[in-house]
Structure 1
Amino acid sequence: MSSMCVKSGKIDKFAAQMKLGLFSKEFADVKFVVGDQKKIIYGHRIIIGLRCALLQKLFQESAARPEVPIVLSDVNPETFQQMLDFMYTNTVQISQNSAMDLLGTAIEYGLQDLQAVVCEHITENLDTEFAATALHAAVYFEVSHLEQHCLSFIADNANEFLESKSYLEMGEQAFIKAMDCDDLNVDETEINKAIFEWGKNGAVKSGTPLKLIVSRVVLKLRIAIFDVENLERIEKFSEAEGDYIPPEMFQFAWKFHAQIKNGRSVPVEGKKWATLRKGTKPLEHHQYLNPYID
């Protein structure tokens, strides 16, 4: 008795043939007006509707007047074209420049397969320049697995990441997550410098005082990691820059050092300001801090 099995043909040939249909007006039965440029893009309702529930709903709502174009003014035409490419061929060409727009569009239109493909491309092509943009997108679009991958990459390559200065354009939420990471393989001095430079960049662009720009981010600084000499230097610098590091953080650190000097126990358990990171350069007083846990 013979058994049934499923065999697949050549995907490349199929994709190429489907793409020819995508670029042809022949047999097209829907017209999209896309983006601010009002670019005309043709398509086929049966294919697009089967692939995208949101567009299928738009087709149903406009069924009484199928000749009227569907206006999608909030989508980039090139990104929409990429999305259609994927719907027709299950393949898509992605670059670092287009990946974030495409990820957002895939999420907006409920195309989980396309979202997965874009996320795979991003993770496979992360570098110290691209990681900042990728983390920002992951946080903004709430893609948790991509966020964790980006944070792990940034943590492992923290020196190169900070040297690239790509973090200067990160949104606040993404930058906070990066600066809060225990696994950052870099010393706290470099983290303080990065927070200051990120804030200064934002202050220059917005005209907002540095202290306000970094008010939430600077709380992620592990202030007790610094020894007395560096703490004095950083406090003077902060005062000269408008107290961008809150005085209460320095009060916490000075009290910590005073208690050590007087041989008293220091209750720091659970306090982030007194927790070592992976890249913290060891100092004698670090034995009293919360250890880094891999």
Structure 2
Amino acid sequence: MSQALDEILLGYVNNKEFADVKFVVGKKKAIFYAHKFFLSLVSAYWRNVLYSKGWETRRTRSLTEIYLPDLEPRIFLSFLQFVYTRSVKIKGNLVFELLDIAKKYGIEELFKYCDESFQKSLSNENCIKYYEYSCQNKLEKWKAISSGYIEDHSGEIMKNHFCLIESTKETVLSILNLEKLYAFEIDIVKSLIYWSRSQKRKYYQSNEKVQLKDILIEFKPLIKLEFLDFDGLEQVSDIGLYSPTIIFGAMMKLTQKYKVKVRPLTRAGAGIEDLKVLLLANCRRGHERIEHIRESVMTTGIQNVDIMNCSSQAPSFDEMFKYDCVVVRNRNAENLHNQVELGNDLARYVEAGKGVVIIAINTLIDNDTCRIKGRLQDEEFIPLQFGERIQQDSRELGEVLLPEHEIMTDVNSFKTKNYAQLIGTHDVRGGTIIAKWSNGFPLITEKTKEENFGTVVCLNFHPCSSKITNDCGKVWLENTDGDKIIANSVSYVGMKLYKRVKPQRKQRKL
């Protein structure tokens, strides 16, 4: 049609002049006027309705009145525009709604128009919605067209992390299984996270037990860890779909591939009270001494300290990774459980950015039955060489080489009761001496083996104070600051993980 004729015909849409049929549409009974002639030209259905007897219409003077309670007025108006001009502007879901009318009233011409409009109106913003509609209504042609569009533009589509947010689970699974879906894996992961949050708000808001990982469990096989960068691995770690061991393994492969340092997984905004500490300890003289160490750890405000007997069991790496710091204290008379495996797991733990505090007496004694073995020792993560246990007269805090160090906060004195028991070595294996005994032996040492690794601190003294009344004379005096040294060491290595500045890295397609 010419533009002039289109404008003339459009003027008759819902125009009472010459109208011979009146439509009452929708629940609010909107009124539309039309002409039987135009309706009969476009549809055999309407021709039979309007020119046959016995159909549910009512004559009102010269008008035939027809009720269409199930249609929305805006959809019916668009349908009338097509009836008169053979075209209509397609916006939003209009193409679906007009297609329903075309199928309901058998209007082949409208069906073809919707088919053409569907292909022309496909965009990054609506293609997923079009795909979902096609699948739900078994429109194979539309499904093939929309899925092809998604594959061709998947990189751009997934950059909008809200692209899946209104889709059903079936649609999301189907899209992620498309054969030629090429996008940054990090964009896919973020889109899934936004989708899962939307699902939680919509269906599980009242159920606090439902986590994002529960909603995304079916998507786990579709997340390709090998294509994620550090940001992506951190996102997946936060969801909790994979164990820390798997995440850390993927990070190590990434560092080997691009020869960059591991960036540890962090919780933003953590404080001392949020730290989770595991105390690996044993003592032949009773649990009272272990509880005393636990109380010392909690001096500066740390609240979460769990105890595990290191003579009868050792935590797996996954169990250990839940904690921000591990404190190791082993009694000479007890053997460390799986010494080599524990040393290997502690090394991996430090590589992941976590902190370890070793209370050195007996744990670092040069005795094969009780000392730490494995990579933690062999690859020199520990800032103090194994040595003989020596006993000397009463000793106290000597030279403080780093008085501004966090471990020395509020530490004013430290002294043993009768005689000092310590590891007699000056070799700190590339570590840093923070403070010494008055006889010159290292008292507090630390070592961060590589950038972005966690820190290991060694405390070269007996862990209990004179508060333990039935202990021998080697304890430190209760009115001095041994408890602060222990607590400050734990908070120092634990909080380093959260204080570390994230390095800026450009995103790359892996």
TM-score w.r.t. the length of structure 2 is 0.40
Corresponding position of 1:152: 148
- Helix, strand or coil: the match of 1:70? strand
Alignment partner, residue 221 of structure 1: 222
Counterpart of 2:15? 24
The 8 Å contact of residues 19 and 35 in structure 2, kept in 1 or not, is answered as yes
Q: How many corresponding residue pairs?
A: 239
**Distance in structure 1 (CA, Å) of the matches to 2:113 and 2:221:** 33
| Aligned counterparts of 2:114 and 2:56: Cα–Cα separation in 1 | 35
Question: Larger helix proportion, structure 1 or 2?
Answer: 1
Partner of 1:120: 116
CA distance in 2, matches of 1:64, 1:130: 39
Asked if 1:175 corresponds to 2:172, the answer is yes
Unpaired runs of at least 5, structure 1:
1-9, 251-280, 283-294
After TM superposition, give the deviation of residue 161 of structure 1 in Å.
0.9
Instruction: Quote the offset at 1:84 in angstroms.
Output: 1.5
- Cα distance in 2 for residues equivalent to 1:136 and 1:74: 23
Cross-structure match for 1:76: 72
Equivalent residue for 2:36, pick from 25, 28, 45: 45
Q: Does 1:198 align with 2:195?
A: yes
Greater relative CO (CA pairs within 8 A, separation 6+) = 1
Give CA deviations for 1:87-144 in whole Å, capped at 9, x if unaligned: 2221222234644433443344333332332332342233322222322333333332
Aligned ranges 1:1-294 → 2 under 5 Å: 10-56=1-47, 58-59=49-50, 60=52, 62-63=54-55, 65-67=57-59, 69-96=65-92, 98-164=94-160, 165-207=162-204, 209=210, 210=212, 213-214=215-216, 218=219, 221=222, 237-239=238-240
Q: TM-score, normalised by structure 1?
A: 0.64
Distance in 1, matches of 2:74 and 2:56, equals 29
Unaligned runs of 5+ in 2: 247-508
Partner deviation per Cα, 1:18-60 (whole Å, 9 max, x = no partner) = 3333333233222111123311111223431342344445444
| Partner AA of 1:86 in structure 2 | F
- 3-state secondary structure, aligned to 2:22: strand
Contact 1:188 1:221 in 2 (8 A): no
SS of the aligned residue for 1:24 comes to coil
**In the alignment, is the contact (CA less than 8 A) between 1:85 and 1:92 conserved in 2?**
yes
CA distance in 2, matches of 1:213, 1:142: 27
The superposition leaves residues 167-203 of structure 1 with CA deviations (integer Å, 9 ceiling, x where unpaired) of 2112333323211101111144443443333122111
- Distance in 2, matches of 1:99 and 1:158, equals 23
Secondary structure, in 3 states, of the residue corresponding to 2:88?
coil
Amino acid of the structure 2 residue aligned with 1:84: L
CA distance in 2, matches of 1:64, 1:99: 28
For the 8 Å contact 1:79–1:105, the answer to whether it is kept is: no
CA contact (8 A) 1:34 1:40 kept: yes
Larger Rg: 2
CA contact (8 A) 2:132 2:167 kept: yes
SS in 2 for 1:25: coil
What's the offset of the Cα at 1:233?
6.9
TM-aligned CA distance change 1:150 to 1:142, over 3 Å: same
> C-alpha distance in 2, partners of 1:46/1:156?
45
